[in-house]
């Protein structure tokens, strides 16, 4: 058995912890891969369903809401499913980094990153709920009087937006810590270049995601790079586990 890293002593007592941590990190990557695949397949299926529905409803506009209701329900259900899988995957990653930080302080920042993202997710949901509860009830009024917005809803809208912005910043910092910093530290500990390559891909994907509003091509490229990075995390963790057998 060996870490394949000359900078680390081959401490036999740590192998079990390393194997346990890497198994959880590998499970995290697998769940992320599953999430992405389900998201892609679900999106294609929804698009394939929505287009005929819109064409059908163009002849009878009054049927549009009725026809889209089940599709909206499916979309909400799919979103909840993906959210649950994502949270479970982050919890696995957190457990992995939690074990590794008992072996090296290098993994304290990635562990903190998972904490931030787990706090940010419910905050984002809370912010969206605040906005929904504020805006949805007045949609009929806005439709009838598009240039009239009740001033009493502005504080609630501001509150929802503030919560989402704060949560978004926390999520961004958390993502940098657990995906980018974590990947480089995994490469440093185990001497596995795949982790480092994943870290670089995550950096490029993150930078490109900042320009998502400019073009959908940035969304596509950043998503592909992130997906490849996750696959590298999965395969690299597997490679190290084989060495530690």
Greater pLDDT, 181 or 149 = 181
Domain spans in the chain, listed from the N-terminal domain onward:
13-103, 191-245
The structure's pTM equals: 0.85
Q: What was the pLDDT predicted at 66?
A: 61
Q: Mean of the per-residue pLDDT values for the chain?
A: 86
CB-based burial, 64-75: b 16+ in 10 Å, e otherwise: eeebbeeeeeee
Q: How far apart are the first and last CA of the chain?
A: 6
Q: What was the pLDDT predicted at 11?
A: 62
pLDDT exceeds cutoff 50 at 9:
no
Quick: pLDDT tens for 181-206: 999 999 999 999 999 999 999 999 99
Q: What is the mean pLDDT of residues 37-62?
A: 72
Q: Is 59 exposed, middle or buried (0-12, 13-18, 19+ CB in 10 A)?
A: exposed
Q: What is the mean pLDDT of residues 129-143?
A: 79
Q: What was the pLDDT predicted at 146?
A: 63
Q: What was the pLDDT predicted at 211?
A: 82
């Amino acid at each position: 058995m060996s870490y394949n890293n000359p900078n680390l002593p081959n401490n036999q007592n740590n192998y079990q912890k390393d194997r346990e941590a890497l198994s959880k990190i590998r499970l995290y990557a697998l769940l992320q891969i599953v999430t992405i695949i389900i998201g892609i397949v679900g999106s294609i299926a929804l698009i394939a369903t929505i287009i005929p529905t819109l064409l059908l409803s163009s002849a009878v506009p009054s049927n549009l809401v009725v026809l889209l209701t089940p599709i909206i329900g499916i979309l909400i259900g799919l979103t909840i499913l993906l959210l649950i899988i994502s949270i479970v995957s982050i919890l696995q990653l957190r457990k992995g980094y939690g074990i590794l930080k008992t072996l090296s302080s290098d993994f304290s920042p990635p562990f903190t990153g998972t904490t931030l993202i787990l706090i940010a997710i419910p905050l984002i949901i809370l912010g969206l709920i605040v906005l929904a509860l504020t805006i949805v009830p007045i949609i009929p009024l806005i439709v009838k009087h598009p240039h009239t917005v009740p001033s009493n809803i502005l504080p609630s809208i501001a509150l929802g937006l503030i919560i989402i912005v704060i949560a978004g910043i926390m999520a961004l910092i958390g993502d940098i810590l657990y995906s980018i910093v974590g990947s480089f530290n995994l490469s440093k500990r185990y001497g596995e270049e795949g982790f480092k390559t994943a870290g670089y891909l995550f950096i490029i994907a993150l930078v490109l995601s900042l320009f998502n509003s400019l073009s959908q091509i940035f969304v596509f490229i950043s998503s592909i790079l992130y997906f490849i990075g996750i696959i590298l995390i999965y395969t690299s963790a597997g490679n190290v586990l084989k060495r530690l057998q």
